[in-house]
Amino acid sequence: MPTMQKISPFLWFDGNMEEAVKFYVSVLPDSKVTMMNPMSSSFVLGGVEFMGLNGGPMFRFTEALSLFVKCADQAEVDRYWNAFLANGGTETQCGWLKDKYGLSWQIIPDALGRYMSDPDRAKANRVMQAMLKMKKIIVTDLDAAAAAA
């Protein structure tokens, strides 16, 4: 029998836990609901176990906590970006967005990390400056910034 991971993110919802959890499970691969009742839930998103609570309006999500989604390419960035913005999400900056439930997500292509860790610090800085102007990260724009002399 598989064991539960030692630490699990615990998300507090305001009456919309079941809707949110079902939405997240539908968007992210390797995801499933493992337990759901009107008050609480256990679920897996991208292989990571989470817990949820329909706790009420006392606490809201803030950008102090975000979920980071590693994306292989622009197609994957676009797919998650569009899914999380659908029906009321909002774009912020530098690959961040808030979904319609108020949870913050970072939708980040692998190319950004690769360029930012490049030993050529001038190249990494050009990529950083390009990224700072973006909402959704556009890989071809990162490529162009990296290639500029």
Cα(117)–Cα(84) distance, rounded to whole angstroms? 28
The answer on pLDDT for 2 being more than 80 is no
Query: β-pairing, 90-91 with 96-98?
Result: antiparallel
* Mean pLDDT, residues 113-140 taken together: 97
Q: In the chain, what are the domain boundaries?
A: 8-59, 61-149
| pLDDT value at residue 5 | 86
Tell me, what amino acid is at 20?
A
Which residues lie closer than 8 Å to 42 by C-beta, 6 or more apart? Answer: 33, 34, 35, 36, 49, 50, 51, 52
Q: Which long-range contacts (CB under 8 A, 24 or more apart) does 113-118 make?
A: 115/142, 115/145, 115/146, 118/146
The answer on pLDDT for 3 being more than 70 is no
Nearest to 111 by CA among 141, 68, 67: 141
Cβ–Cβ < 8 Å for 115, 123 = yes
Quick: pLDDT tens for 17-50. 999 999 999 999 999 999 999 999 999 999 999 9
For all residues of the chain together, what is the average pLDDT?
96
Cβ–Cβ < 8 Å for 33, 24 = no
Quick: pLDDT tens for 70-122. 999 999 999 999 999 998 999 999 999 999 999 999 999 999 999 999 999 99
Any idea which fold 8-59 has?
Answer: 3.30.720
| pLDDT value at residue 1 | 54
The answer on pLDDT for 67 being more than 60 is yes
- For the domain spanning 61-149, the CATH number is 3.10.180.10
pTM: 0.93
The answer on pLDDT for 145 being more than 60 is yes
| pLDDT value at residue 149 | 74
> Which residues partner with 51 through β-bridges?
10, 42
| pLDDT value at residue 48 | 97
Provide the greatest CA pair distance for the chain: 57
The answer on pLDDT for 4 being more than 90 is no
Q: How far, rounded to the nearest angstrom, does the alpha carbon of residue 12 sit from its chain's CA centroid?
A: 17
